[in-house]
Every structure is written in structure tokens, then in C-alpha cells.
């Protein structure tokens, strides 16, 4: 099998460094092997460091990012729970769908696609019947960053949980689970962590743990998963066979993030975003998100009239081996979503993309 090298500058997966692919291809060993237990523990410690949390319950769920979403809902939302759900893009919609399927009383706070939801609108919806507030920190469909300021205090005041999707923001835009008072968050490996897709980091704080009540899902049952991932003094208990090689890759990808340092990495992403935006503006593109609401790791730009966006994307992929993503939902055909994620947030990536774009748009 031989797969072409693409420069992955879409909405994810992002460029996976050879070092991570080499870790991925280490020999498969058993899920109860003491060597694997060490890797699991190290991977969890690194995840905590990247999430800026001391939560002991921090682990990769065995599925892609949306598996993290489902794990969050089935363990921390009960049928009938009033859950306020911010929706200003596809991933907020997806969560509202998931909550509804699981019997929650979903209170959608709609926001404009391409804008952050005003904090006061979210706070207005949180009342003393509210069990949880959910927001998408980094909306992958629009390139918008949702501020978390004030949300945790409002949730604590009414004894509600703050639930956050940080799939596309983690390690690419500032987020600090403990300092920002997030109770449960999930992420993905194939965005700013630059690991292959297939795992969903999940972190759970003490307030949420008190309400852990797994429901209909056996696969995502956190009480069972903890017996395997965080056994404490007990013997590690088999739940399901962890995706061993993906854990190797995640562990190595986290090491790379921590070697760089989070503040340095965040700054690099912010700079790479601005530099790319400057170049794209010269070509007639404008960012969807207004200044101050942008997500560093995903630059979503309006495609100017007269450009066949699908044809240009296809040419970028097939002639230049560069992937960028089109729009989703109401933005389909109208925007491009350009990943600025980890190794994709480097000058070389920007230069290659801009050069190819200039050639195709000429």
C-alpha cells in the first residue's frame, strides 16, 4: 500500500509528523501489558498537561472526536435534564441532536454562523433548573472561538455543569480546563495535536464526577472505563481492547506539544493565522469571523464571487497535494476552511498553499 503525501490544511485531519507515524507503527502489544500501562499513564499525564488540568479522570475515549461528545452525554446528562446548548455552527447542532436523542430537555441558544454567541445570551438561558451548559469552544464549521469567561461562575451558581467541545482548539488556541472552570471537555487527536484520528481525549472534573451516572451505552460507560484507565490501587480491569497503536501515537504527539510549550504554541498558531489571512486578503478573501472572535487554528474565509470553489479545492488536492476544506451546512459553497493546526501552522505550509492558490486563481 502506498498513500500520497498530502499537505493537510483542511478542517482535520492535520499533518501527522513522521515521528508520530513511527510511534503509531511500533509493535502492537497487549492492552494489559505493564509496558502499555506505563504508556497509558504517561499519555494521561501529558493529556492533563496539555488540557491544563489536574483532573485524574483524563483519558482518551476509543473513537474519534464525536465519540467524546457521545461519552460526555451518556455519562453526564440524564433524560429530562435541562441542558442549555449554544449553537452557532455544525458542531453545536450536532450536540443538540445528541442531547435530544438522549432525552435531554434541550434549550438551544442560537447564534449566527461565523460569530461567537454573546455571553449574556448564554447566561440568560441558564437558570436554577439548568443541569448543564454546553458550548463549542472552537467551532470547526466557522472558525469561531467561543469565550468561556463567566460561564463557569454562572453554572456553579445554579449547580449546573459546564460542558465544552475543544476538539479544534486544544493545543492551538488557549484553553485551560481548571482555570476556566470547565467540568467536562472532549477533544480530538487529528486537529492541533497532529495525531491520526481515532481517539477522543476526555477530561472530567470533580463536580461532574459526583454526577456520573452512565446510561444506555456500554461502550462509553465511564464507570467501567475508569476500572481500566484509572484503577488506582485496584487491579487494572479489562473493559474493551484499547486502540493500542493510536495511544502510542497520541502519547508521542502530546510529547511534541509539550516540548514546544503551550504559550509558544498558541502564539505560533495566532501568528500563522494572521500571516495566512494577510496573504489571502491580497487574493480577495475575507475572514468570516470578525476580529477578536476568530479561532486561531481554523481560518474560515469567504470565497469571492466568480471563483468555482469546489474546482479550485480539487485542483489544490490533485495538482498540488494540498487539502483544504469547503463549507458545511448553510456555508457550503461559500467558504473555505483552512486548518492552521500544529505542523500546519508553519511558514512553509502557508507558502506552499499561497503559491498553489496563486497558480490556480491566475
Give me the least distance between CB of 328 and a second copy, in Å please: 7
Rounded to whole angstroms, how far apart are CA atoms 68 and 215?
15
Give me the least distance between CB of 256 and a second copy, in Å please: 11
Q: Which of 207, 264, 217, 216 is nearest to 240 (CA)?
A: 217
Q: For a second copy, which is the closer residue by CB, 67 or 154?
A: 67
Q: Residue 290, Cα to own-chain centre: how many angstroms?
A: 21
In Å, how far are 14, 137, 146, 253, 347 from 190, measured between CA atoms? 6, 16, 20, 10, 20
* Spatial CB neighbours of 141, under 8 Å, sequence gap ≥ 6: 11, 89, 90, 91, 113, 300, 327, 328, 329, 331, 337
Say if residues 342 and 190 touch (Cβ distance below 8 Å).
no
Q: Tell me how many degrees the CA angle 350-354-355 measures, rounded to the nearest 5.
A: 115
Q: Tell me how many degrees the CA angle 328-334-339 measures, rounded to the nearest 5.
A: 60
Question: Half-sphere exposure of 99 toward its Cβ, with a 13 Å CA cutoff?
Answer: 27
Say if residues 289 and 79 touch (Cβ distance below 8 Å).
no
Does 92 engage in binding with a second copy (CB under 8 A)? Answer: no
Among 53, 62, 75, 169, binds a second copy (CB under 8 A): 62
Among 114, 174, 188, 342, binds a second copy (CB under 8 A): 188
Q: For a second copy, which is the closer residue by CB, 103 or 147?
A: 103
Does 4 engage in binding with a second copy (CB under 8 A)? Answer: yes
Give me the least distance between CB of 49 and a second copy, in Å please: 17
Q: For a second copy, which is the closer residue by CB, 142 or 190?
A: 190
Does 202 engage in binding with a second copy (CB under 8 A)? Answer: no
Stretch touching a second copy by CB under 8 A, among 24-32, 156-164, 279-287, 347-355: 24-32
Q: For a second copy, which is the closer residue by CB, 165 or 252?
A: 252
- Contact track, a second copy, 291-330, x by CB under 8 A: --------------------------xx----x----x--
Residues in the chain, total: 362
Tell me: cis bond preceding 13? Omega within 30 of 0 counts.
Answer: yes
Say if residues 48 and 203 touch (Cβ distance below 8 Å).
yes
Q: Tell me how many degrees the CA angle 37-41-46 measures, rounded to the nearest 5.
A: 145
Burial 5-32 (b: 16+ CB within 10 A, else e): eebbbbbbbbbbeeebeebbeeeeeebe
Among 121, 150, 238, 281, binds a second copy (CB under 8 A): 238
Does 1 engage in binding with a second copy (CB under 8 A)? Answer: yes
Rounded to whole angstroms, how far apart are CA atoms 116 and 137?
9
Local structure of 274: helix, strand or coil: helix
Residues 63-82 that bind a second copy (CB under 8 A): 63-67, 69-70
Give me the least distance between CB of 215 and a second copy, in Å please: 7
- Contact track, a second copy, 239-278, x by CB under 8 A: -xxxxxxx-x--xx--------------------------
Give me the least distance between CB of 60 and a second copy, in Å please: 11
Q: For a second copy, which is the closer residue by CB, 266 or 336?
A: 336
Stretch touching a second copy by CB under 8 A, among 21-29, 124-132, 296-304, 347-355: 21-29
- Contact track, a second copy, 135-174, x by CB under 8 A: ----------------------------------------
Residues of this chain that bind a second copy (CB under 8 A): 1-6, 8, 10, 12-13, 15-16, 21-31, 33-35, 39, 62-67, 69-70, 94, 97-98, 101-103, 188, 190, 196-198, 215-219, 238, 240-246, 248, 251-252, 317-318, 323, 328
Amino acid at each position: 500500500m502506498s498513500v500520497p503525501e498530502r499537505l493537510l490544511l483542511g478542517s482535520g485531519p492535520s499533518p501527522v509528523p513522521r515521528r508520530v507515524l513511527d510511534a503509531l507503527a511500533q509493535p502492537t502489544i497487549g492492552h494489559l501489558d505493564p509496558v502499555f500501562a506505563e504508556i497509558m499513564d504517561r499519555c494521561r499525564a501529558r493529556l492533563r498537561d496539555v488540557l491544563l488540568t489536574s483532573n485524574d479522570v483524563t483519558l482518551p475515549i476509543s473513537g474519534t472526536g464525536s465519540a467524546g461528545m457521545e461519552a460526555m452525554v451518556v455519562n453526564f446528562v440524564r433524560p429530562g435534564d435541562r441542558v442549555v446548548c449554544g449553537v452557532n455552527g455544525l458542531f453545536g447542532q450536532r450536540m443538540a441532536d445528541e442531547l435530544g436523542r438522549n432525552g435531554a430537555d434541550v434549550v438551544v441558544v442560537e447564534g449566527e454562523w461565523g460569530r461567537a454567541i454573546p455571553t449574556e445570551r448564554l447566561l440568560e438561558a441558564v437558570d436554577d433548573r439548568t443541569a448543564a451548559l454546553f458550548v463549542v469552544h472552537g467551532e470547526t464549521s466557522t472558525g469561531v472561538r467561543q469565550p468561556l469567561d463567566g460561564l463557569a461562575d454562572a453554572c456553579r451558581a445554579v449547580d449546573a455543569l459546564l460542558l465544552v467541545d475543544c476538539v479544534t482548539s486544544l493545543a492551538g488556541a488557549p484553553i485551560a480546563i481548571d482555570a476556566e472552570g470547565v467540568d467536562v471537555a472532549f477533544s480530538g487527536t487529528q486537529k492541533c495535536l497532529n495525531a491520526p484520528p481515532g481517539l477522543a481525549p476526555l477530561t472530567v472534573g470533580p463536580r461532574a464526577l459526583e454526577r456520573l451516572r452512565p446510561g444506555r451505552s456500554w461502550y462509553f460507560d465511564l464507570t467501567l472505563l475508569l476500572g481500566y484507565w484509572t484503577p488506582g490501587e485496584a487491579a487494572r480491569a479489562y473493559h474493551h481492547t484499547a486502540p493500542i497503536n493510536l495511544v502510542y501515537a497520541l502519547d508521542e504527539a502530546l510529547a511534541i506539544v509539550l516540548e514546544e510549550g503551550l504559550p509558544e504554541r498558541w502564539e505560533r498558531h495566532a501568528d500563522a493565522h494572521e500571516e495566512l489571512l494577510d496573504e489571502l486578503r491580497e487574493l480577495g478573501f475575507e475572514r468570516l469571523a470578525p476580529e477578536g472572535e476568530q479561532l486561531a487554528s481554523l481560518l474560515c474565509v469567504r470565497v469571492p464571487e466568480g471563483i468555482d470553489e469546489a474546482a479550485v479545492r480539487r485542483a489544490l488536492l490533485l495538482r498540488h497535494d494540498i487539502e483544504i476544506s469547503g463549507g458545511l451546512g448553510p456555508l457550503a459553497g461559500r467558504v473555505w476552511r483552512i486548518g492552521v493546526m500544529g505542523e500546519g501552522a508553519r511558514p512553509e505550509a502557508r507558502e506552499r498553499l499561497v503559491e498553489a492558490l496563486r497558480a490556480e486563481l491566475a
